[in-house]
Amino acid sequence: MAAADKDVDLRHASKFLLITNPNYFGNLTDLKLADIPKAVLKKVGDTSFEELTCIGYNPATEILTAIVRIKQQSGYGGDACTDGSQEYVRFYLDYGDGTWVDHGVAGFNIHDFPFKDPLCYAVSIRLRPKRRSCCDDKPVLPKVRAILSWNTMPPPNMPNWHPVWGNRLERDIQIEPRNWFICHILDKITDIGIQKIDPSLIDKITAAVVKLPPPKPEPDLHQIVKVARAVDDLAVMRGVFPAVAKLSADPTDIAAWQALAPLKAFDIDLSKFADFLAQPKFNTTYEELHCVGLDRDRMLLHGIVQIKLRSGYSGSLCQKGSREYIAFYLDFGSGWEFQGTTFVEVHDIDVPRGGLWYQAALPVNLDAHRQEYCKTGRARIRGILSWAVPPAPNQPNFVPHWGDREDCWIEVEHLPKGVIPGVFTPVLESIGNMSVAKIDGAGYANGASVGGTFTADDAPFGGRTLLKGNGFN
């Protein structure tokens, strides 16, 4: 639905209106702050222009990602030749005690577009978890609250703040357990009688830990099927699927045949699963791909996966578990082009209501498809989710046995000013995470940083400063 002119005009005037009255739109009323003026126009959590649709976390990389859907052509502060505006996402975590911990903000620049298709953006932070547990303890499953706000950075340490344009979203994630070696060191400190770790005693601690057995191996098929039979036939098929899929790919694989030997003890007839194996259909009983998008600043394609059940993922956090694979495709106008496959590891966990939310990312280079300065491009993005077995490459219509697919559009950013397609041009893009375009002639930076993690106000540079650039051809 196209944005009404009055809504676009209101967004253009919003900064001035908020200067005259910080509660002009009424989004501060419920915070019970002192001396807050009355609202003039009630507008809180408007998602007609942008909406936060997904949150996911990768325990291995510690990257927490949000997907934002941009819904309109205009209302973002001008076209690609202007400064446009900013979309901000602030992340909070509740580790189970009811206290929201501020983990920082990220964001991206946005502008008006010459096309109507909704665009999906990814924005991420590197999470520094405040709590961890050992793999055989209760898992750390914090709740994430993300707050999306257009052109106004959500204030720090205010988890109940509501945006004027934007929304809040909550999802549960899983934190990577501590390294098993560290866990056993901590367990052994008391046994050895150490009150404080002294460097001279490190060898003693190490020797004690080495005597311990290694981490538990991945569960064998017998154990998996035993648990699955208590559920239903679908769970049994799920349990044997990785071994069956491996055998289907290579019927001469002796190891794969041997892996299926435990099935004889349960008198399981694999032939009754023939239709399931021969005619795969999208199955989202266990996992589902909800969102895909592009982190434009870091050139990463992201997919957000929901894990729905407590078992069916080939092992606990002390075991190997399994992989959720995502194959990515992009269509720049002449058909789907395979970009590659990525994955995130998952395990059997007592998931909270609403499941656990994960993300997987894939690096991508879009330089060959970028147009000259001020000309914004777009591409169709498709992610195909498949559990345990990677999706077949170069098959954009591939249907997995377990999983599904998700489509959206992404922005293909234009080339920097002065770069001519086909002519090699080195370009300095940012200094100290500030876009060169936002640094004045006197050397002072103003505006949002690359990634939106901070805002500069006549800020100078000092100390070690990172320069980033690219060579375009």
Residue type present at position 226: K
Q: What does the pLDDT read at residue 49?
A: 98
Query: Which tens digit of pLDDT belongs to each residue from 74-96?
Result: 999 999 999 999 999 999 999 99
The answer to whether the beta carbons of residues 66 and 103 sit under 8 Å apart is no
SS3 272: helix
Structure confidence at residue 398 as a pLDDT band (50, 70, 90): very high
Task: Report the pLDDT averaged over residues 427-443.
Answer: 81
Question: Where is average pLDDT lowest: 143-147, 173-177, 242-246?
Answer: 242-246
Q: What does the pLDDT read at residue 231?
A: 75
Q: What does the pLDDT read at residue 168?
A: 98
The answer to whether the beta carbons of residues 309 and 285 sit under 8 Å apart is yes
* H/E stretch holding 14: helix 5-20
**Higher confidence at residue 185 or residue 446?**
446
Q: What does the pLDDT read at residue 117?
A: 94
**Higher confidence at residue 443 or residue 213?**
443
237 has a pLDDT exceeding 90 = no
3 has a pLDDT exceeding 70 = no
452 has a pLDDT exceeding 90 = no
Chain centroid to Cα 331, Å, comes to 22
How many angstroms separate the CA atoms of 348 and 139, rounded?
A: 11
Q: What does the pLDDT read at residue 205?
A: 58
**Higher confidence at residue 233 or residue 345?**
345
C-alpha angle 470-471-473 in degrees, rounded to nearest 5: 140
Q: What does the pLDDT read at residue 207?
A: 62
pTM: 0.88
226 has a pLDDT exceeding 80 = no
How many angstroms separate the CA atoms of 356 and 354, rounded?
A: 7
Which of 374, 304, 293 has its CA nearest to residue 330? Answer: 293
How many angstroms separate the CA atoms of 356 and 349, rounded?
A: 9
Q: How many Cα atoms occupy the beta-carbon half-sphere of 435 within 13 Å?
A: 17
The answer to whether the beta carbons of residues 402 and 286 sit under 8 Å apart is yes
Each domain of the chain, given as residue ranges in start order, spans: 48-176+285-412, 180-210, 221-278, 425-472
How many angstroms separate the CA atoms of 153 and 453, rounded?
A: 10
Neighbours of 90 (CB within 10 A): 28
The answer to whether the beta carbons of residues 55 and 357 sit under 8 Å apart is yes
Q: What does the pLDDT read at residue 188?
A: 57
Structure confidence at residue 208 as a pLDDT band (50, 70, 90): low
Mean pLDDT comparison of 157-161, 200-204, 439-443, highest-scoring range: 157-161
How many angstroms separate the CA atoms of 72 and 46, rounded?
A: 13
**CA dihedral sign, ordered 274, 279, 285, 287:** positive
Query: Which tens digit of pLDDT belongs to each residue from 102-139?
Result: 999 999 999 999 999 999 999 999 999 999 898 989 99
DSSP string, 111-156: ---SS-S-EEEEEEEE---S----TTS----PEEEEEEEESSPPPT
**Percent of the chain, pLDDT > 70?**
88
How many angstroms separate the CA atoms of 221 and 228, rounded?
A: 10
The answer to whether the beta carbons of residues 213 and 201 sit under 8 Å apart is no
How many angstroms separate the CA atoms of 202 and 185, rounded?
A: 10
Structure confidence at residue 4 as a pLDDT band (50, 70, 90): confident
DSSP 8-state class, residue 252: T
376 phi, psi to nearest 5 deg: -80, 135
The answer to whether the beta carbons of residues 286 and 312 sit under 8 Å apart is yes
444 has a pLDDT exceeding 60 = yes
**Whole-angstrom Cα Rg for the chain:** 26
The answer to whether the beta carbons of residues 471 and 424 sit under 8 Å apart is yes
Quote the strand ranges of 347-442, DSSP E. 356-363, 377-387, 405-412, 425-431, 434-435
Helices and strands (DSSP H and E) totals, the chain: 7, 19
Q: What does the pLDDT read at residue 255?
A: 72
224 has a pLDDT exceeding 60 = yes
Q: How many Cα atoms occupy the beta-carbon half-sphere of 7 within 13 Å?
A: 16
